Amino acid sequence: MTLKDRDQYLPGYFKSKWPVECGGNRRQKASVGGLWAEDGNAIVTTVTNDRWNVMAIKRGASEVYIGGTMPAWSGPEPYGWIKKVDPFTLETINETPKLPAGGHVWCGAIAAHANGDLYKVNGRYMHRLSKHCEVIKEKKLPVNQAHNGLLILSDGTIITKDLRLCNQVGSTITRLNPDTLEIIGTPLILPEGSMGRIASDSDNNNEYIYVPGVEHIWRIKVSKNELLLDNNWNPRYRFLKDNNGLAWDGCISDNHLWIMDNGDIDSVRAIFERQPNGRFETPSSRLSWRRKAPWSNPQRLIKISNQDTSIKEIYPFGTSGGGIIAPPVHIPEFDTCIAWDSINGGLAGIKDLSEKLEIIWKVNIRPTMQPIVYPDTGELVINDFKNNADYIVVIDLKSGKILDRVNTGSRLANGMFLTAGGNRDIYYCSTFAISYIKWE
């Protein structure tokens, strides 16, 4: 997908340039325009609260919605929420009632549909909501497990998936009617559990869903009334005998899927070893992404062909016990993939040169988040957690030079989502804080 393609509206979604997490189903996290951050001055507005703030999306040009859950690891029942906020001050305009999650604590997702309504998955529930954050429909999903993400397909149907780790049953892919939230066809149970969120793409004839499993990447063909597992394409990225962790989401770019492994860090394992997910009788000491990794291998970046399942890989940092809580991003205009190690620190730009992947630059920062890229200006936007403060850094995609560094005012970093505002501005979401950052 080129920059010109990214300027088009996405089928199935509301006519917005950022109606869903990562800006679209390929998870390329790209926006037209830019920040021109090196020559600008960043103005930061931060609101702190008691919430797990997951993501912001845009519906209309001036309509910003933030969705999340409550970090209710123990005590009161967890619930999900969406609020419409003022795009500049972040003050609440409308807010949903408490949305049930089935007792589970996990980040969930939101999206703006072509029909004008909002959809949210949180824990075991899917909700359809009006633009004023009123509940239209509520659906208790068939699998009693926290669900990780949702996407809208080109026909407007809703796709979601429950999250499973090693030694658990296969994850279930569920497709819902956007009007009624009734399930379409029979939910598809994968041969393996899946931790990462789903991505999707289309060729000239078919629409596909890509799902990272425990050992393989699975591809699902979408037909009118059913989901069909593609048994001719299931590349293996991980072997159980190896000392590596699981993959989060994939980024689809230039006929390849880019993933990083080492994602089921100790805090994620603690959350999903329990039922309901993330609920403890007393507060747990395991709920930090900074804990030592439960494996010895370094962080790995993997490139997988969508055509023939061939694989290339690289260990960009070489430090044992690498770990992440967010996936990589590939920028086709720069033929560069961005990878990082959240546990040990380090960010790298990587190209596929000749027969292997090679590092072209490194930056000594500690990212955790889902970034934004601006191919027009060659800017990468990501976070850097340092000295118990979370910063936004803007980096030149060609050289790795840090162009700007902005203190968000957040004291905690998470693996949540950055959102492009469309006018030299971004939205930042993390645990207990949301920020609007505008360059002038």
DSSP H or E stretch at residue 55? strand 42-58
Q: Which residue has the tokens 């080129």?
A: 2
**Residue 170: DSSP 8-state:** P
Distances (CA, A) of 219 to 25, 206, 237, 326, 394: 14, 12, 14, 21, 34
Q: Which two tokens stand for residue 29?
A: 């996290």
Q: Which residues of 332-352 are buried (b: 16+ CB within 10 A; e: fewer)?
A: bebebbbbbbbbbbbbbbbeb
Lowest average pLDDT, out of 3-17, 56-70, 282-296, 418-432, goes to 3-17
For residue 5, count other CB atoms closer than 10 A to its CB: 12
pLDDT, the chain, mean? 96
Give the whole-number percent of the chain exceeding pLDDT 90: 93
Domains assigned to the chain: 3-439 (2.140.10.10)
- pLDDT grade for 219, boundaries at 50, 70 and 90: very high
Cα dist. 63→91, 95, 335 in Å? 12, 13, 33
Closest CA to 230 of 250, 260, 201: 201
**Cis peptide bond N-terminal to 187, omega within 30:** no
- How distant is the alpha carbon of residue 358 from its chain centre? 25
Give the number of other CB atoms < 10 A from CB of residue 306. 19
Q: Identify the three-state secondary structure at position 45.
A: strand
Mark out the alpha helices in 297-402 (DSSP H runs): none
Closest CA to 19 of 63, 64, 59, 60: 59
Please work out, in degrees rounded to the nearest 5, the angle formed at the alpha carbon of residue 200 by the alpha carbons of 354 and 289: 80
Query: Which tokens in the block code for residue 293?
Result: 């990794």
Question: What's the confidence (pLDDT) of residue 203?
Answer: 86
Read off φ and ψ for residue 266, nearest 5 degrees.
Answer: -60, -40
Given phi > 0 = left and psi -120 to 50 = alpha, else beta, which region is 116? left
The per-residue pLDDT for range 127-174, each reduced to its tens digit, is 999 999 999 999 999 999 999 989 999 999 999 999 999 989 999 999
Q: Which SS3 state, helix, strand or coil, does residue 3 take? A: helix
Other beta carbons within 10 angstroms of residue 221's beta carbon come to: 15
Q: What are residue 390's DSSP bridge partners? A: 385, 410
**329-380 confidence digits (pLDDT tens):** 999 999 999 999 999 999 999 999 878 999 999 999 999 999 999 999 999 9
Give the pLDDT confidence of 18-68 residue by residue, as tens digits.
999 999 999 999 999 999 999 999 999 999 999 999 999 999 999 999 999
d(CA 105, CA 68): 10
Q: Which residues pair with 82 in a beta bridge?
A: 67
Q: Write the CA distances from 259 to 18, 110, 238, 248, 253, integer angstroms.
A: 22, 22, 11, 7, 11
